[in-house]
Amino acid sequence: MTKIVTSLSGHLRLLKKRTYQTAVLLLMSCIMGGFKVARAQDLNKKFTVINRIISLDRKSGVVHLNKAEGAGIAWINGQVFDKGVIEFDVKGKDEFQGSFLGIAFHGVNDSIYESVYFRPFNFRSTDLGRKSHAVQYIALPGYDWPKLRTGFPNQFEQLVLPAPDPNQWFHVKIIVAGELVSVYVNNSKRPALKVKSLTRTGGKMIGYWVGNGADGNWRNLKISSE
């Protein structure tokens, strides 16, 4: 009889311990789930995201847009930009036709805007043709890259020298002054690309941009409007 009572007491203690552990795990799961919901709600307040999912690493400040078909934009709510300076660090990858990322500006909506973006997989290509397609300017809806490459070869896309490591962070400075758009990479004194704006959208939205099938990472965004 004593052995039976002892055995039952042991089982009860084990059951209580497991019940407690399960309750703790459930509580932690609810808390973490609440954090994730709160973070998602915070990001939805800060950004209007088109065709992507946005995430933010609060410790490093890195903004990430996931990979998906078609272009994607994360417009920054409450931020306006007409002319001035845009600076940021950006990181893509050396994946052929798999990394297109930059900034959209003068946005009216998800189909009317200008953009400067990079193709990191072309940075260090041994093919000179590909290498000259490293940085690109577009003005949608009328002037996407195929039309510009055919009608205005080597005017709205150029190589980047010295070529950054396509798998590492690089710094970008875009100066929009009147009709001129100048793009500097890694604090170079000479612009990698300098073009005349092809449109006047009247829009002032600005945000992170990725191309078809691409994801991307940004940090240290600074916008100085004039």
SS3 readout for 11-58: HHHHHHHHHHHHHHHHHHHHHHHHHHHHHHHHHHHHEEEECCCEEEEC
Predicted local distance difference test score (pLDDT) of residue 14: 52
The residue among 24 and 192 whose pLDDT is bigger is: 192
Nearest Cα neighbor of 114 from 207, 217, 6 is 207
59: which DSSP letter? T
Q: Label residue 44 by pLDDT band (50, 70, 90).
A: confident
pLDDT band at 226; cut points 50, 70, 90: confident
pLDDT digits (tens, 9 = 90+) for 50-60: 999 999 999 99
Q: pLDDT tens for residues 5-36?
A: 455 455 446 545 566 565 555 556 544 554 34
Let me know: does 185 contact 160? Beta carbons within 8 Å: yes
User: Do residues 163 and 84 make contact, with C-beta atoms less than 8 angstroms apart?
Assistant: no
Residue 181 phi, psi dihedral angles, 5° rounding = -120, 115
pLDDT in the model for residue 156: 98
The yes-or-no verdict on residue 37 having pLDDT over 70 is no
What is the spatial distance between Cα 172 and Cα 82, in angstroms, rounded to a whole number? 18
Place of tokens 């052929």: 96
Query: What pLDDT score was predicted for residue 23?
Result: 52
Angle formed at CA 54 by CA 51 and CA 57, multiple of 5 degrees: 165
pLDDT at 222 > cutoff 60 = yes
Burial of 87 from C-beta contacts in 10 A (0-12 / 13-18 / 19+): middle
Q: Is-contact 50 110, C-beta < 8 A? A: yes
| 3-class state of residue 144 by DSSP | coil
Tens-digit pLDDT profile for residues 71-118: 999 999 999 999 999 999 999 999 999 999 999 999 999 999 999 999
What is residue 102's predicted lDDT score, i.e. its pLDDT?
98
| The one-letter amino acid at 82 | D
Q: What is the mean pLDDT of residues 116-136?
A: 97
